[in-house]
Amino acid sequence: SPLLSPAYFDPNANLNPNSYGYQADEYVVEATRLSEKFSAYNEIGDAWDDRSKILIVNLTILAVSLSLYGLSTTIKGFMRNAFIALGTLAAGVVVLWSGVTMLLPLPRLPEEAINAYADGMGLSWRGDYAGAIQHFDEALSLQPGYANALYERGNAYYYVGNYQAAAADYEASIRAGRTDTNVGWNLGWTYYLLGRFDDAIRVDRAALEQDPSLMGVRFNLALALMVNGQLDQARSEYQSGV
């Protein structure tokens, strides 16, 4: 078994095999890399789909514009000029809207940032959080606002005991678009550890609104309420959890 190779197991060390290192090398890094690429390509595909829908609308407006021009040839006087003006206005809207749509940048996540993030995940899986932070830093230098890298760097900071930096990264990952309950759960608990009980209560409640079945978050909320002196509310949350 590769797990018993010298890279992961020393029979003289009286220790278990390094299963986390084996998992990181065997599939964690590559699975993370492929998952991030898949998400990035999907995001680009969704952006092109949105563009195509806008262009279909523009073509419809252009068809109306051409119809107005055609109708203008069948009448005279004020109405003819009105049809020409409306057709010209519609055509101008199409040109402007299409131009803006095509000039807007597509979402792009550089492959180098994905690779740095995946390597950071491998190191984090091994428990090398300091090394993981360096790789997440590299990913964020290549792609500022990389939500997953911000979240995972927050986790790494949490495990090395830098709760202030962890909270800042969780907050930044939310601003970057990552709003799942994992972020809320971790951020709420980190606020609690920092003594920011009001913030912990607010974030825990928001996470429970997303998923009321999260028992860990409910008991964290109850604990924060209790320490914050809101005993009746804490008791209610404990009872709900039970």
Digit-coded pLDDT (tens) for 188-211: 999 999 999 999 999 999 999 999
The pLDDT value recorded for residue 1 is 85
**Host H or E run for residue 54:** helix 29-72
Other CB atoms within a 10 A radius of the CB of residue 171 amount to 18
Q: What is the pLDDT of residue 188?
A: 98
For residue range 215-233, list pLDDT tens digits in order.
Answer: 999 999 999 999 999 999 9
Query: What mean pLDDT, rounded, does the chain reach?
Result: 94
Around Cβ 78, how many Cβ atoms within 10 Å?
A: 8
DSSP symbols for 115-164 = HHHHHHHHHHHHT-HHHHHHHHHHHHHHSTT-HHHHHHHHHHHHHTT-HH
Rounded average pLDDT over 146-172: 98
Q: What is the pLDDT of residue 14?
A: 80
Q: Does residue 213 surpass a pLDDT of 90?
A: yes
Q: Which pLDDT belongs to residue 2?
A: 87
Q: Are 219 and 238 in contact (CB under 8 A)?
A: yes
Tens digit of each residue's pLDDT (9 = 90 or more) over 90-138:
999 999 999 998 888 888 899 999 999 999 999 999 999 999 999 999 9
Q: pTM for the whole thing?
A: 0.83
Q: How confident is the model at residue 15 (pLDDT cuts 50, 70, 90)?
A: confident
Average pLDDT (132-156) is 97
